[in-house]
Amino acid sequence: MAEHSLDKAGLIDWLGDGQELAVLDIRPTEEVGYASPLFATNLPADRLETELDRFVPRRSVRTVLVDGGDGAAERAVARLAALGWTNIHFLDGGIPAWVEEGVSLPTFDIPGVPFVTRIREERQTPVTSAIELKALRDQGTDVIVIDTRTIAEYEKAHVPGAVGVPGAELLLHFKDVVPSAKTKVVVSCAGLPRAIIGAQTLIDAGIANAVSYLDDGTRGWTDAGFELETGRTATVGEATEQARRQASEHGERLSAGDQLTFIDRQTAEKWNADEERTTYLLDVRTPQEFARESLPGSISSEGGQLLGVSYRTIAVRGARIVLVDDLLGSRARIVAHWLSRRGFEIAILLHDFKAQTRAAA
């Protein structure tokens, strides 16, 4: 297996050479936790044979498996090579060897926290502490908290009275959730990243309201001695036409300085069939919408999650990313606004899913 072995120096070189590269942490999910030290895609060893094609669509792409130092990656490489993976490798010593010197090393992706804190510093994103939010409410100030996590996360625990609006849905539902421009808006998540990105998205889109993020999110709220609320107490439904019109207007403002590439379905299919380049078709609508109708070959990748933990879906560094959305496109615009700043090559495909549904009927 010597020809499949890769040492730490070799992986560092590959991470910086600009060519397509897939890195997968094959340890059990519970062992990896929130993220691998490499910020690589986590695909446990027992799922490799059945799911690797989804994460690495082209079997000729340089692919590196990283284990916990137990030899699982070397064994998996042998199996996958026999199945037709022609450029498959394992990292010598796995994660223990990668982190043993305790020095800062390259990562597969840009971790969420460093990226958003840099955005906060550059843009001076306004912040509201839990104590300040409580005081505003006690004073009877017109203020609303918007929780930008997934609805499942929102249900587990959120700031009392918060409305659950996943990050990529912010512009689509904003007018329905915040009808008055005088309302103060505080964006929350579990900590910092999605709250900062959510608040700055609204600001960049030209929302007239005073917008800030809740410092440390739900954690900051409990650290201040306040209780959280559970359940689906306030979430959004179908966006009204008025909300959709405003989302279109603010989506255009958000993208005013972005160099967006829009493609049609035929181009996306051509890219997807390209044997020389990897393309992901990522549907940034809600999982429920994706389940009702979707494009062949696309993957459900809820926009807000894609922003926060892109490495969980995009396993091939240097791949083309096609964001699939409905004709309004406000969710794809939000995702493109931020992912393009992290070095991803982004294109947007807007599709008439309603027409697709009518045709199917």
- Does the residue 252 lie in any domain? no
Residues 6+ apart with CB under 8 A from 130: 214, 215, 216, 220, 221, 223, 224, 226
Would you state the pLDDT for residue 112?
A: 64
| Residue ranges of the chain with per-residue pLDDT less than 70 | 1-2, 102-104, 108-112, 357-361
- Interatomic CA distance for residues 27 and 132, integer angstroms: 42
pTM of the shown model: 0.91
- Interatomic CA distance for residues 56 and 280, integer angstroms: 9
Burial class of residue 133 (count of CB atoms within 10 Å of its CB; 0-12, 13-18, 19+): buried
Average pLDDT in the chain: 92
pLDDT digits (tens, 9 = 90+) for 97-150: 998 876 667 776 665 677 888 899 999 999 999 999 999 999 999 999 999 999
Q: How many domains are there within the chain?
A: 3
- The last residue of one of the domains, among 192, 215, 247, is 247
**Could you give the residue ranges of the DSSP H alpha helices within the chain?**
8-15, 29-32, 48-55, 72-82, 94-99, 112-123, 130-138, 151-156, 170-177, 193-204, 217-223, 241-254, 265-272, 287-292, 303-308, 330-339, 353-360
DSSP 134-183: HHHHHTT--EEEEE-S-HHHHHH-B-TT-EE--GGGHHHHHHHH---TTS
Number of H helices, E strands in the chain: 17, 16
Would you state the pLDDT for residue 170?
A: 97
Q: Are residues 84 and 133 in the same domain?
A: no
Q: Are residues 101 and 158 in the same domain?
A: no
CATH number at residue 273: 3.40.250.10
Q: What is the distance, to the nearest Å, from the Cα of residue 191 to the centroid of all Cα atoms in its chain?
A: 15
Residues 6+ apart with CB under 8 A from 45: 26, 27, 67, 72, 73, 76
Q: Are residues 117 and 87 in the same domain?
A: no
- The last residue of one of the domains, among 64, 91, 107, is 107
- Does the residue 167 lie in any domain? yes
Would you state the pLDDT for residue 360?
A: 64
Would you state the pLDDT for residue 33?
A: 82
Domain enclosing residue 55, as ranges: 2-107
State whether the Cα torsion 122-110-284-21 is positive or negative.
positive
